[in-house]
Chains A and B, each alone.
Chain A
Amino acid sequence: AQSVSQHNHHVILSEAASLELGCNYSYGGTVNLFWYVQYPGQHLQLLLKYFSGDPLVKGIKGFEAEFIKSKFSFNLRKPSVQWSDTAEYFCAVTRPNTDKLIFGTGTRLQVFP
């Protein structure tokens, strides 16, 4: 079965610290990969996505993610976090010839000034 693992459940950082959130998936075929963000009390919004091409993907608000096929990983990074990055972050995966978007359990990020 296809699954998505996010090992960091809760991350606490100070402003200006660097961020890396882990995401691993279990499916071995060709996948599409996404990171979504959910700010407190709001709906999910897309941060970035990978379908093909350059495995280093740039997203909004200074976020980026790197697809490493050999490691089945798609980790999210940001060099310097801000208080406004406090949110829950979800990794998600689909296969191109299926339409199911499967989410990880999420990582709650708290950034303190």
Chain B
Amino acid sequence: DAGVIQSPRHEVTEMGQEVTLRCKPISGHDYLFWYRQTMMRGLELLIYFNNNVPIDDSGMPEDRFSAKMPNASFSTLKIQPSEPRDSAVYFCASSLYRGHTEAFFGQGTRLTVV
């Protein structure tokens, strides 16, 4: 397996534009997590899915953020409209079992909103 795949690796966009980040988890993994990493706040859990169903989205900062998982092999994180303070590295991770065995992380998407 190629691991968790995220796209794009880098995204630069203007304030107010819609941004969509994509993630392909490892095949067979039941859990998918979206994290945001910033210098100030470290790694924050935004939302996670189990079997494509959102379980906890309490970490999503605002209504401007939304996430979907239409099938077991694909998830998106959308920011609309984007703001400069959304600039961060966004990581997707997947894992096998409840109780959280090892989480495998993607390479991340570095988002810059200007």
Contacts and interface: CB of A to CB of B under 8 A. Distances in A.
A99 interface: yes
A45 B43 contact: no
Interface in A21-41: 32, 34, 36
25 contacts: A32-B99, A32-B100, A42-B107, A43-B105, A43-B108, A44-B93, A44-B103, A44-B105, A94-B99, A96-B99, A97-B99, A99-B55, A99-B99, A100-B45, A100-B56, A101-B103, A102-B45, A103-B42, A103-B43, A103-B45, A105-B41, A105-B42, A105-B43, A106-B42, A106-B43
A66 to B, nearest CB: 20
Nearest to A95: B99
A99 B100 contact: yes
A46 B102 contact: yes
Interface residues of B, number: 23
Contact of B48 (A51, A99, A105): A99
Contacts of B25: none
A60 to B, nearest CB: 12
Interface residues of A, number: 22
* Interface of chain B: mostly helix, strand, loop or mixed: strand
Nearest to A102: B45
Contacts of B85: none
B107 A43 contact: yes
A47 B105 CA distance: 13
Contact of A94 (B35, B50, B100, B106): B100
Contacts of B91: 43-44
Interface string A70-113: 00000000000000000000100010110111111110000000
